[in-house]
Chains A and B, each alone.
Chain A
Amino acid sequence: MTAQMFFIGFFGLAGVWFGIVVFRTYSMVRSALALLFSQTALGAMFLSMQAEFLGVLQIMMMATEMSIMAIFMVMFMMDPGGLGTMDMTHQKRLSLITGFVSFVAAVAVAVFVDWGPVATTFPDAAQQTVDLGLELLNRSMLIFEMAGVTILTAMIAATAVAIQPLKRGKEK
């Protein structure tokens, strides 16, 4: 139990640290891959909590997603190598306030919500996969489909906003 607590804490802190690194670097690729390792640390937290399928899935999905994000950041940022003096942060005051409020809210939720008794027995890894599959195709199907479509829409919209419109007839 203590070893488990240690690893959960360790990977949690690693996740937070890599999250900070995302904004401490000027290189877009470093930033994207720092976010990847932050997410991988979350996957390792799942593994420490014996949620094997979720952990492996998180570790797998994030590697592809963050790498693809890296190429988008290189394509659309004016200084992808971070060789100039580009600032990664903007609207500092607003971000600080929002960040602090969200942090307090998250801590409040974690502390004040009655989570019920800590589970002492849990299904084995193979059974967890089965249960998760049934859950995803039954009760939670609508939520997941909606989340998927929303994310896809957001991706297409973000790309459309980021691309400078071509001035037809004026090329070259």
Chain B
Amino acid sequence: MTTLLIVLLLLVGAYFVAVLEAWISRGRFQLAAPLLAGIALLGRESIVPRKPDRIFFEVGPILLLLSALLAAAVIPLTPNLIIADLATGALFVNAALVYVLVALLMAGWGPDGAYAMIGGWRFLGQLIAYAMLIVMPITAVAMRAESLLSTQIVISQADLWNIVYQPLGFILFFVASMALAFLPPFDMMIAKGELAGGVEAEYTGVRLAVFRLGRLVLIVTLAAATVIFYLGGWQGPWLPPWAWSAIKILAVTVAMLLAGRYMPRIREAHLLSWCWILGIPLALTNILIVGVLVLEFP
């Protein structure tokens, strides 16, 4: 029952992300547009390229959706609304999200098309840039909570949210999760206007619909992860826990989409050098600072 409810909520969230994205990037607020676009995609012919790697071509979009859903399984929306409160929850989020890379590699390699393949390998380059900036801030969050349980991480922020306690970690995680969700300005593997859709280029019809749905669910999952790691999860005054979760996830999503709106696209090679020369030392500094803080002000 909980599983069904959470999947339903994720889908509703994904729908709102689609509406918001169109509103922010094109300036048009159309509530029915994603629904119509979805129906149109389902009605369209789903073309298979001439010599595909059939297994990868079919599995890619599904794996993308699946990994976003799996990561959401350990994210608590209220104290009780969680599919599985694993003892390794914070690690599991990352473990599930790594398969986004595998999905995009498959989707890039599978159709046997130049644009798609370049898009897929670009994402691999991007992963090498952002991966450490996902793991290291989570390490610092787990250090404060002294637990990998995601519910415990939320409870540890009862007095002070992590965004105040470890702002450096928040910034790094926020940027890295935008790169993970290949949102602009880190959308080199889709690169509309340059790669003709990149990884998406050879997909049409149902398969494209699944791919896009996977991407939207991924954005919701990452926003939810940011909320439980840094914004105190369901906690807040007056309103019930679920309302706080919803408001915070919405706020993080809008922040991610808005940030992308006003930035120039970053090439993955530049991202790589920024992340390794600046990002990783900052992430290590964050771990050090949090370590000292945890010892001094537990």
Point out residues on A near B: beta carbons under 8 Å: 27, 29-30, 33, 36, 52-53, 56-57, 59-60, 63-64, 67-68, 70-71, 81, 124-126, 128-129
Contacts and interface: CB of A to CB of B under 8 A. Distances in A.
Contacts of A124: 87
B132 to A, nearest CB: 10
Given A125-B86, A126-B149, A57 B131 contact: no
B147 A71 contact: no
B173 interface: no
Given A56-B91, A60-B94, A60-B98, A67 B53 contact: no
Given A64-B127, A71-B121, A56 B92 contact: yes
22 contacts: A30-B55, A33-B56, A36-B102, A52-B86, A53-B87, A56-B86, A56-B91, A60-B91, A63-B95, A63-B98, A63-B101, A63-B102, A64-B101, A67-B105, A68-B128, A70-B124, A71-B124, A124-B87, A125-B86, A126-B87, A126-B149, A129-B87
Nearest to B127: A64
B231 interface: no
A67 B147 contact: no
A129 B55 CA distance: 36
Given A57-B95, A128-B87, A129-B148, 15 more contacts: A29-B56, A29-B105, A33-B102, A33-B106, A52-B86, A52-B87, A53-B87, A53-B91, A56-B86, A56-B91, A56-B95, A64-B101, A64-B131, A67-B124, A68-B128
B152 to A, nearest CB: 9
Contacts, number: 64
A134 to B, nearest CB: 14
B242 interface: no
B25 interface: no
Q: Say what secondary structure dominates the interface of chain B.
A: helix
Contacts of B99: 63
Across the A-B interface, give the 3 residue pairs with the lowest CB-CB distance, nearest first.
A125-B87, A60-B95, A63-B98
Contacts of A60: 91, 94-95, 98
A57 B87 contact: no
B88 interface: yes
Which of B86, B98, B149 has its CB near the most chain A CB atoms (within 10 A)? B98
A64 B98 contact: yes
A128 B148 CA distance: 12
Interface string B60-97: 00000000000000000000000000111001101100
A52 B84 CA distance: 13
A57 B86 contact: no
Nearest to B51: A83
Nearest to B146: A130
Contacts of A70: 105, 124
Contacts of B112: 81
